[in-house]
Amino acid sequence: MTIVDLLEHNALQYPCETALVEINPQVEPDSRVTWKEYALTQPESGKPFRREITWREFNRRANRFANLLLTRGIKRGNKVAILLMNSIEWLPIYFGILKAGAIVVPLNYRYAADEIKYCLEKADCSMLVFGPEFIGRVESICDQLPTVHHMFYVGQGCPGFADPYEELITYCSSHAPKISVSEEDDAAIYFSSGTTGFPKAILHAHRSLIHAARTEQNHHQQTHEDVFLCIPPLYHTGAKMHWFGSLMVGGKAVLLKGTRPDWILKAASDEHCTIVWLLVPWAQDLLDVIDRGEVDLKDYDLEQWRLMHIGAQPVPPSLIRRWLTVFPNQKYDTNYGLSESIGPGCVHLGMENINKVGAIGKAGFGWTVCVIDKDGNPVKRGDVGELCVKGPGVMKCYYKDEQATAEVLHGEWLLTGDMAMEDEDGFLFLVDRKKDVIITGGENLYPVQIEDYIRRSDDVKDVAVIGLPDARLGEIAAAVISVKEGHTLTEEQVMTFCNGLPRYKRPRKIIFDAVPRNPTGKIEKPVLRAKYCGESVVARQIEK
CATH number at residue 537: 3.30.300.30
Q: Would you state the pLDDT for residue 529?
A: 86
Q: Would you state the pLDDT for residue 518?
A: 59
Q: Domain ends where: 273, 302, 326?
A: 326
**Radius of gyration of the chain from its Cα atoms, rounded to whole angstroms:** 23
Confirm whether 459 is domain-assigned.
yes
Confirm whether 12 is domain-assigned.
yes
Whole-angstrom distance, CA of residue 149 vs CA of residue 183: 28
Distances (CA, A) of 22 to 49, 160, 231, 265: 8, 28, 10, 15
Q: Which domain holds residue 299?
A: 3-326
- Count of domains forming the chain: 2
**What is the identity of the amino acid at 115?**
E
Ranges of residues in the chain whose predicted pLDDT is under 50? 30, 43-46, 194-196, 519-521, 535-544
User: Strand, helix or coil at 268?
Assistant: helix
Q: Domain ends where: 284, 301, 326?
A: 326
Q: Would you state the pLDDT for residue 100?
A: 98
Confirm whether 310 is domain-assigned.
yes
Counting Cα atoms < 13 Å in the Cβ hemisphere of 509 gives 16
Confirm whether 340 is domain-assigned.
no
Q: Domain ends where: 285, 301, 326?
A: 326
Q: Would you state the pLDDT for residue 284?
A: 82
Helix, strand and coil percent figures for the chain, each rounded to 5: 35, 25, 40
Same domain for 315 and 184: yes
pTM (2 d.p.): 0.82
Confirm whether 342 is domain-assigned.
no
| Residue 179: partners with Cβ closer than 8 Å, 6 or more residues away | 66, 76, 99, 100, 101
Confirm whether 359 is domain-assigned.
no
Same domain for 263 and 139: yes
| Residue 256: partners with Cβ closer than 8 Å, 6 or more residues away | 23, 25, 229, 230, 231, 263, 264, 267
Burial class (CB in 10 A: 0-12, 13-18, 19+), 177: middle
Confirm whether 349 is domain-assigned.
no
Confirm whether 394 is domain-assigned.
no
CATH number at residue 9: 3.40.50.12780
